Amino acid sequence: MQLHDLKPAKGAHRRPERVGRGTGSGRGKTSGRGQKGQNARSEGFRVGFEGGQMPLAQRIPKLPGFKNPFHRNFSVVNLSKLSRFKDGTKVDPDALLEAGLVHQGMEIKILGTGGLKRKLTVEAHFFSASAREAIEKSGGSVKVLGEARKIGPRRTAAKLPKPLPVAETPRAAAPEAAAGKPERQKKGAPAPTVEEATPPDEA
């Protein structure tokens, strides 16, 4: 068998119907569109048209707000749930999953709701400020999992202290005034009076 001997399976390709080729072709005159009506016109139906009744896009309610594409879901664990572990226990994602406090494959966030009186080493992806403070206050330690969050140059510049305002230096005298040239007069302004110099007294 050669490449030019390859052919599609029987019935896989059908010849398109040639409509509008005269009455003797079988698909002439109205070309299968029938007599009059909306489907006989060239425009036909537009997308979403429902025969004149209220379309679905207008029937459904439009809720305010938007969907944040950067939203992240966490498995949240409160401090009150950590009291079930004994003192000195290393509370990592595996221990939390075994205790049924988190979901598989989700990032963990520890919140400061409730109290904690046990010394624990807690490992999670995120900690609230109150949770971190409570764990360290009870003698435990905190370890953040995952890569450190990267801060762009704009946010880095925003966190830096702003420079102090610089005192403005007095502007240099105009070159015309330095050269002794007369200042230009405004239109319509009266001409400045020039005092004549008095001659010295004769001896």
Q: Percentages helix, strand, coil for the chain, rounded to the nearest 5?
A: 25, 10, 65
Partnered with residue 148 across adjacent β-strands are: none
Residue 29, phi-psi category: left (phi > 0), alpha (psi -120 to 50), beta (remainder): left
- Lowest-pLDDT range of 35-44, 64-73, 75-84, 159-168: 159-168
16 — phi, psi (to 5°)? -65, 145
User: What pLDDT, on the 0 to 100 scale, is given for residue 203?
Assistant: 47
pLDDT at 104 > cutoff 50: yes
Cα gap 109→101, rounded to integer Å: 11
102 — phi, psi (to 5°)? -135, 170
**Mean pLDDT for the chain overall:** 84
The percent of residues in the chain predicted with pLDDT above 70, rounded, is 82
Tens-digit pLDDT profile for residues 108-122: 999 999 888 889 999
Q: Which residue has the higher pLDDT, 141 or 146?
A: 141
User: What pLDDT, on the 0 to 100 scale, is given for residue 67?
Assistant: 86
Residue pair 40/46 in contact (Cβ under 8 Å)? The answer is no
For the whole model, what pTM was predicted?
Answer: 0.46
User: What pLDDT, on the 0 to 100 scale, is given for residue 136?
Assistant: 93
Sign of CA dihedral 106, 107, 113, 115: positive
User: What pLDDT, on the 0 to 100 scale, is given for residue 143?
Assistant: 92
Residue pair 103/134 in contact (Cβ under 8 Å)? The answer is no
Tokens of 140: 């435990």
